[in-house]
Structure 1
Amino acid sequence: MPARLSGAGALDTWRATPPAARALLAGTFVNRLGGFLQVFAILYMADRGFSDTQAAFALGAYGAGSIGGMLVGGWLSDLLGGRRTIVVSMACTAGLLLGVYYLGPYPAKIVLIALTGAVGQAYRPASASMLSDLVPPERRLMVFAMNRLAVNLGATALPLAGVALASVSYGLLFWGEALAAISYAVIAGVALPRRPASVPAPGPASSPGAGAETSPELAAAPALGPAAPPARGRTMLGDRPYLLFLAALLLHSVVYVQYLSTLPLAIRDHHMPVVVYAVLISVNGVFVITCELLVTRLVQGRPPRLAILGGMALTGLGMTLYAPPWGVAGMIVATLVWTLGEMAGAPSMYFAYPAQAGRGGHQGRYLGAANAMFGLANSLGPILGVAAWTAFGDGVWLLCGVTTVAAMTLARHGVHAGAGADRLDRGLVS
């Protein structure tokens, strides 16, 4: 591996990251820190006197809106640009949040919660697309890992901040999240360029000042080498390899989210204390926050297909290791294995590879579709996992292994053939 890639650690990358990209990372952290609605929706609805079923339906409406929002957000990012999409998304989210709190009728709340999920998630593909445009190809994977770190840090602090605010008033939760959204909108409006210049690619193809007049969507194209065909004129629905990759991503994500639904049931039915589940979740969170940037430093520079397949394999293996009756120690080992898979593969499969595959005017749509697969898995995964646990018991973990093999098979064909992946690999390490 070239020394300039193998030595590109988090600090080196941060120093080399332009101020606009740093602003995006800061805005992502602030916005995630204020993401109270999704976490406290059920408690808030119950506090307002609605039934458990009505509260659960409200959370489902938020999830459904989020899936559509990421798809539409990707399209808007390509059409309007990332800066405008983020500003509009965050400003509208603030208004919708206050509407959810102050409007009393249940139907109105459900509609506004669904709209909040949609509008509030529309920024994600726009933010990822802009990050891809603002940093050079050899730094992108590390920057996307930093983006995940910002999300995870915000998510870690969010419950504590939410409990503190809710103990005073649920109104503070909604005003706090609205303030976080407005803060991100201000950061985006002030710190982000209207049309970021493309980053010159390494190698002889780049020249001083190259790309200054190029549209931001074409920023990644030089990294793929002159032989890579432009994506302009090609629609995502006509990109069969990428559709295979999306199918693989959906299957993989369904396996991944089983730690949220099936794992707690397994711990309960095996007569283990609830604290075991808390320990496993804490193990995952601590290692992701403290080690993901280190793992990304080792992964960057390798072919994206290797990172994606390796991440899927480790995730599936970790879930399968829950099947044997190895006790708490075995479950901790299994958690460490799939956590390593998450750290190794997630920055590539959800961000870096979709951004490269959608070069030439479709980055936002490609990124939005990839993130929508994770959102869809969050909705389908718990339902499928609980049904499989009821039917097969610990056999569900073996089913996770089989599903992972299917996901890897699809990814092997989709990533290998899609968007000139071999040329992409050479471009990243040239």
Structure 2
Amino acid sequence: MTSTDESTGIWETIRDAPVPVKALLVGVFVNKLGWFLQVFLVLFLTTSKGFTPVQAGTALGVYGGGSVIGLIIGGSLSDRVGPRAAVMISMFGMAGFVLAIAYVPSYTAVVVVVALAGAVGQFYRPASAALLTELTPKNRQVMIFAVYRLAMNLGTTAAPLIGAALVAVSWNLLFIGEAVAALAYAAVAIVALPKRSATAVEQTPDDQPSAGGYVAVLRDYKYVLFLLCMFINAAIYMQYLAVLPLHMKADGLSTWWYSAIVALNGFVVITCELLVTKVVQNRPARVVAMTGFVLLGGGLAFYALPGGLAIFVIGTLLWTLAEIIGGPTMFAYPGMAAPKPLLGRYVGSAHAMFGLGSALGPFLGVWVWNTSGSQVWVWCGLAGAIGVVLAYFGMTPTTAEDTSIDATPAAEPELVGGQDE
């Protein structure tokens, strides 16, 4: 096609995507439909197992810590054995550990199994993102990541409702349901994802940065600045779950209004992200990310203004706009910046930093709220400004941004009949 707009349209991107990419989108959606553990873990441990709220909260924190470690391991695993094998290991392992949680006898055993479930269950994420990058033409990568995010968001939105229905029957059924969802994704990987020969994951003469694994990633100082962007993005983004409900309650607004604000964000993201991505995907990644940080920091800082409910609505719309403008580009960028032998590690490190920010952000935000009240939103605005600077210096323009002339897949893995090595 001669027109960039036509070649990177929503339906054109989905229609022309190779079978493995479509399979990944379906597999991730089905897997997220069974995303029950993190949502219901505290309730399960307190009501069914009889543990204290502190013990349950600790277990949830351990799950989050395991998830961050799993993302790092998953990136390395993807580079070493290939995305297909990494997805299979992740999903088979997750199914086993999730089922074990319902039956282990002691709190210590629960914590260990929860940590393993958090870690192994995240191996698939760098692998899936790496494979999307490898099999998608460069000029369509931002759009395909927007579709990928949509599949995850739809599944994640439906999962709590499905989980509540399963819990009404039996707690065991909840864990069986998540295991089945994981096995369904594993089946998709077995049937539809490409097997890769050793040459597809080994270093080539032109890809010297592969030496040293994650050490080589850290030597890319510009990419390290991008990793800090991911951390800041997640840390301040999570304040809508940590500090926003406290602020709205302090202002005398009911839980219903907070729920409506969160629902507004979800509705806009699900209905508008693909349309917005169609407009911004051909802009330089650095410019898109900087715009996202301006809107994210500005939207959160807007909460510091007086004005009641209207302030919360406007601020939420601003940072939601940041999410749908910057989100797909931020998660597609690691594939644009990575040398091929380190693709999984580049992707894994980005996901891990986002996960770390998601884990630490709520603690930091609530601490600042307890110390200085609504000034926490001013600090979020300042953090967003730092993100703008880091994105400017860290996100080097890549050849992937020249979409008018480069519409070939980023890397086409060799398909072989044997096992992944």
Per the TM superposition, whether the score is higher than 0.5 is: yes
> Percent sequence identity over matched residues?
44
| Amino acid paired to 2:248 | I
Residue in 2 aligned with 1:19?
Answer: 19
Residue in 2 aligned with 1:265?
Answer: 246
Residue in 2 aligned with 1:199?
Answer: none
Counterpart secondary structure, 1:301:
coil
C-alpha distance in 1 between matches for 2:384 and 2:247: 20
- Per the TM alignment, residue 107 of structure 1 is displaced from its structure 2 partner at its CA by 0.2
Indicate how the Cα distance of structure 1 residues 29 and 217 shifts in structure 2: closer, same or farther if over 3 A, else same.
farther
Q: Deviation string for 1:209-231 (max 9, x for gaps)?
A: xxxx9737999xxxxxxxx9864
- Per the TM alignment, residue 276 of structure 1 is displaced from its structure 2 partner at its CA by 1.1
- Per the TM alignment, residue 290 of structure 1 is displaced from its structure 2 partner at its CA by 0.5
C-alpha distance in 1 between matches for 2:248 and 2:363: 18
1:322 and 2:303 are equivalent in the alignment: yes
CA contact (8 A) 2:265 2:316 kept: yes
Q: Deviation string for 1:138-167 (max 9, x for gaps)?
A: 111111001100110001101110100001
Match of 2:200 among 215, 227, 234: 215
Match of 1:281 among 242, 262, 271: 262
Indicate how the Cα distance of structure 1 residues 216 and 290 shifts in structure 2: closer, same or farther if over 3 A, else same.
farther
C-alpha distance in 2 between matches for 1:11 and 1:217: 34
Q: Deviation string for 1:268-316 (max 9, x for gaps)?
A: 1111111111111000000100000001101111111111111111111
1:361 and 2:341 are equivalent in the alignment: yes
Q: Cα RMSD (Å) of the superposition?
A: 1.9
Residue in 2 aligned with 1:334?
Answer: 315
Structure-1-length-normalised TM-score: 0.89
Specify every segment of 5 or more residues in structure 2 that has no aligned partner in the other structure, as ranges.
407-421
Indicate how the Cα distance of structure 1 residues 138 and 161 shifts in structure 2: closer, same or farther if over 3 A, else same.
same
Instruction: List 4+ stretches of structure 1 deviating above 4 A.
Output: 216-219, 228-231, 427-430
CA contact (8 A) 1:303 1:425 kept: yes
Match of 2:351 among 363, 371, 392: 371
C-alpha distance in 2 between matches for 1:290 and 1:276: 21
1:386 and 2:366 are equivalent in the alignment: yes
Residue in 2 aligned with 1:44?
Answer: 44
Specify every segment of 5 or more residues in structure 1 that has no aligned partner in the other structure, as ranges.
197-212, 220-227
Counterpart secondary structure, 1:167:
helix
Residue in 2 aligned with 1:222?
Answer: none
Counterpart secondary structure, 2:305:
coil
- Per the TM alignment, residue 334 of structure 1 is displaced from its structure 2 partner at its CA by 1.0
More contact order relative to length (CA 8 Å, sep ≥ 6):
2
CA contact (8 A) 2:222 2:394 kept: yes
Which one is further off, 63-72 or 354-363? Answer: 354-363
1:145-160 alignment, distance < 5 Å: 145-160=146-161
CA contact (8 A) 1:195 1:215 kept: yes
Q: What is the total number of aligned residue pairs between the two structures?
A: 400
- Per the TM alignment, residue 407 of structure 1 is displaced from its structure 2 partner at its CA by 1.7
C-alpha distance in 2 between matches for 1:27 and 1:301: 27
Counterpart secondary structure, 2:169:
coil
1:15-414 alignment, distance < 5 Å: 15-47=15-47, 48-195=49-196, 215=200, 231-233=209-211, 235-350=216-331, 352-414=332-394
Q: Deviation string for 1:107-138 (max 9, x for gaps)?
A: 00100000000000110000000011111111
- Per the TM alignment, residue 6 of structure 1 is displaced from its structure 2 partner at its CA by 5.8
CA contact (8 A) 1:17 1:135 kept: yes
Match of 1:425 among 397, 401, 415: 401
Indicate how the Cα distance of structure 1 residues 195 and 273 shifts in structure 2: closer, same or farther if over 3 A, else same.
same
C-alpha distance in 2 between matches for 1:217 and 1:168: 49
C-alpha distance in 2 between matches for 1:394 and 1:334: 14
| Amino acid paired to 1:396 | V
CA contact (8 A) 2:66 2:119 kept: yes
